[in-house]
Amino acid sequence: MKKTSFFISLSFVLFCISASAQQGSKERIKVYSQAIEGNLVNDPAERDVTVYLPPSYSIEPQRRYPVVYMLHGFTDNDSQWFGWEKHWINLHQVIDSALAEGQTKEMIVVMPNAYNRFKGSMYSSSITIGDWETFVAKELVSYIDANYRTIPNVRSRGLAGHSMGGYGTIRLGMKNPDVWSAIYLMSACCMEGALNTNPEFINSIEAITSLDQLEGASFGVIATLASAAAWAPNPDNPPFYIDLPFANGEYLPEIGAKFSANRTLYTIDQYIPNLKKLKAIGMDAGLQDFGISNSTKKLHELLESYHIIHQYESYEGDHLNHIADRIRTKTLPFFSEYLSFE
């Protein structure tokens, strides 16, 4: 009986070890950014960052891993996405599930918190919000390579994002082919489109005159203010230090042009040589995510016209309802195929 009990106990211990080995760990750290330091709206330069470490990280101390930098969407943050608090997605669980299904290889996944005073940085650079491009592409990558067992090589780095993060992915990816070799856009926003010039909408934006009003602003209003902070800064115009594309109810085309100059489909032709340096480009959007689905298709067609090999898919879904499944079955396997592993 004792012998039988011993084997039962040993089997149980081995089972627990095996089950534990299928789950990665996560940690939330702070990374100080000189690039964001001194921004005019006083957002903290010390940024929260969540790091997912794969199951074998703690038990194979000599092993090094590729890194995927994942960018969250507007009004979201890394805490929500990684399950530190309840949200519509839990990326930690998504990655664990992908690994358990066997189509994804082990990698480190990093997500910076890009939530700022305007509820989103647009992963852009201005004196108003700080230089988010340098923070993500240079400072954060350098910090992760210095503090974790990464494979510190462009061939082993990927960049992906959803919505505002999808926009950030193509924006940063086309500018930095020396940092990332593979990129994947999920339901990328902000790639084209005119500004809303409805008089009622303009009045609702112009009614926001103090910082404490930002928290209660509607999605469309705060998104316009966030875009202005990223793309139309004005150091002489407190308290927001931005130029709005409207004044006294009238549209200002010279400011609107600054928004257009940051729309992906209007600027991407300048970056074709850089895009050709990338090893892999992937993108998708739900058919019911109407404007974004259209923009993603146009980006696909533009890349086709330049004979740039890429993956594109439209699927039945809206802006949110299948994102976790897409990451599990498409995005993570994509990086497993195209990044370099040890």
In angstroms, the CA 101 to CA 14 distance is 20
How would residue 17 be classed by pLDDT, with cut points 50, 70 and 90? very low
For the entire predicted model, the pTM comes to 0.93
pLDDT of residue 49: 98
pLDDT above 90: residue 2: no
**Six token digits for residue 67:** 């890194």
| Closest among 81, 268, 61 to 283, alpha carbons compared | 268
Please state, in angstroms and as integers, the Cα–Cα distance from residue 120 to each residue in 45, 111, 224, following that order. Answer: 15, 14, 11
pLDDT above 60: residue 53: yes
Cβ–Cβ under 8 Å, residues 220 and 117 = no
Cβ–Cβ under 8 Å, residues 186 and 326 = yes
pLDDT of residue 74: 98
- The one-letter code for the residue type at 282 is G
Cβ–Cβ under 8 Å, residues 163 and 189 = yes
Residue linked to tokens 């103090």: 210
- CA 69-75-78 angle, 5° bins: 35
pLDDT of residue 109: 98
Cβ–Cβ under 8 Å, residues 58 and 72 = no
Q: Where are the domains of the chain?
A: 24-193+265-338, 199-259
Residue linked to tokens 């510190």: 152
| Closest among 175, 159, 143 to 46, alpha carbons compared | 143
Range 314-318 average pLDDT: 97
Cβ–Cβ under 8 Å, residues 221 and 205 = yes
Range 57-71 average pLDDT: 97
- CA 25-27-29 angle, 5° bins: 160
pLDDT of residue 342: 82
The CATH architecture assigned to 24-193+265-338 reads 3-Layer(aba) Sandwich (3.40)
* Least confident window among 28-37, 193-202, 268-277: 193-202
Higher pLDDT, 22 or 311: 311
- Per-residue model confidence as pLDDT tens digits over 238-297: 999 999 999 999 999 999 999 999 999 999 999 999 999 999 999 999 999 999 999 999
Range 58-73 average pLDDT: 97
Cβ–Cβ under 8 Å, residues 13 and 109 = no
Helix (H) or strand (E) holding 332, with range, is: helix 332-338
Can you spell out the DSSP letters for 112-176? E----TTS--TT-EETTTEEHHHIIIIIIHHHHHHHS-B--SGGGEEEEEETHHHHHHHHHHHH-
Other beta carbons within 10 angstroms of residue 270's beta carbon come to 10
pLDDT above 70: residue 20: no
pLDDT of residue 22: 77
In angstroms, the CA 293 to CA 307 distance is 21
pLDDT of residue 3: 47
Higher pLDDT, 111 or 211: 111
pLDDT above 70: residue 298: yes
